[in-house]
Amino acid sequence: MNAVLDWLAALGRAGFEALARLGRGHVLLLGILRGLGPLARRPRLLLVQLHSVGVLSVLIIAVSGIFVGMVLGLQGHYILSRFGAEATLGVMVAASLVRELGPVVTALLFAGRAGSALTAEIGLMKATEQLSGLEMMAVNPVYRVLTPRFLASFLSMPLLAAMFSALGVYGGWFVGVGLLGVDDGTYWSQMQAKIDLEEDVYNGVIKSLVFGFVCAWIAIFQGYDCLPTSEGVSRATTKTVVHSALAVLGLDFVLTALMFGK
């Protein structure tokens, strides 16, 4: 009987703690968004973060994009050629990338590359009292440290996803046209004819904006809310990657259902 009660008590405690964390996350998000005004007067802070969050992620995004495109070219050609439909390879590659793989894989890679770094950086700043130090210097650490990182992540994500998709299309072209003999003109003209700006491209951009928002929020909150010890920082970093991945994949289903589920 006691074991059951203990179990129930533990469940309740975990529930309350989860709710409290959710509340702290939203309060923090409000604080971050309130910092957008002050940030507009110091664009340099944003530029520095755009570099460390966005520019430094370009290499992994670019390489992954090319390889994913090449695999799409191979797999697509293998299946489409059975039906004699190799001509539509370009459409298949581009649609897969722009609608799904571009935003989703970019977000997953971004969480691993930039999100984990953000969490570790903010967590260590907390552990080494740098955030406290800013507060005592009458500088709001949310405005000064968190808001620029949040906005930089949010802005970088769609740009990185666009780069991923564009390079993926070239990867597919290299395999399909260069190696497997699909007609060059057909590859591009089919793509041009069938890919719809609104339905495909805009929806992909909306997805990556949502993923950017969520990944940045998770990474920054985990860093800011972590226990200021080495164990706390390491756990927060892991949580960033796991939570971001789950959130991206879950949201991707919801968004896809809303956009394409007629």
Partner 1 sequence: MPSRRRPAKRDVLVRIRGLRFYRGDRAIFDGVDIDILRGKVTAIMGPSGTGKTTLLKLIGGQLRPSAGSIEVDGQNIHALGTRDLYELRKRMGMLFQSGALLTDLNVFENVAYPLREHTDLPESMIRKLVLLKLEAVGLRGARDLTPAELSGGMARRVALARGIALDPMMILYDEPFTGQDPISMGVLVQLIRRLNDAAHLTSVIVSHDVAETAAIADDLYVIADGRVIDRGPPAKVKASGSAWTRQFMQGLPDGPVPFHYPAPPLGGDLFAA
Q: What is the DSSP letter of 4?
A: H
By CB under 8 A, is residue 229 in contact with partner 1? no
The least distance separating partner 1 from the CB of residue 144, rounded to whole angstroms, comes to: 8
Measured from the CB atom, the residue of 130 and 186 that comes closer to partner 1 is 130
The least distance separating partner 1 from the CB of residue 124, rounded to whole angstroms, comes to: 8
C-beta separation of 111 from 241 below 8 A: yes
The least distance separating partner 1 from the CB of residue 53, rounded to whole angstroms, comes to: 14
Nearest-angstrom CA–CA distance, 83 and 66: 26
The least distance separating partner 1 from the CB of residue 126, rounded to whole angstroms, comes to: 11
By CB under 8 A, is residue 40 in contact with partner 1? no
Q: Which stretch binds partner 1 (CB under 8 A): 8-16, 62-70, 87-95, 130-138?
A: 130-138
By CB under 8 A, is residue 132 in contact with partner 1? yes
By CB under 8 A, is residue 139 in contact with partner 1? yes
CA atoms within 13 Å, Cβ hemisphere of 136: 5
Can you tell me which residue has the tokens 């002050």? 38
By CB under 8 A, is residue 129 in contact with partner 1? yes
- Kindly determine how many residues on this chain lie close enough to bind partner 1 according to the rule CB under 8 A: 13
Task: Enumerate residues 6+ apart whose C-beta is below 8 A from 239.
Answer: 119, 222
By CB under 8 A, is residue 17 in contact with partner 1? no
**Contacting partner 1 (CB under 8 A), which of 136, 197, 198, 261?**
136
By CB under 8 A, is residue 38 in contact with partner 1? no
**Contacting partner 1 (CB under 8 A), which of 128, 189, 192, 229?**
128
**Contacting partner 1 (CB under 8 A), which of 38, 133, 181, 185?**
133
One symbol per residue from 140 to 159: x for binding partner 1 (CB under 8 A), - otherwise; what is it? x-------------------
Nearest-angstrom CA–CA distance, 139 and 125: 14
Helices (H), the chain: 2-34, 36-40, 43-49, 58-80, 89-95, 102-110, 116-127, 130-136, 141, 147-173, 184-194, 203-225, 230-260
HEC readout, 168-232: HHHHHHHHHHHHCCCCHHHHHHHHHHHCCHHHHHHHHHHHHHHHHHHHHHHHHHHHHHCCCCHHH
Residues that bind partner 1 (CB under 8 A): 125, 128-130, 132-140
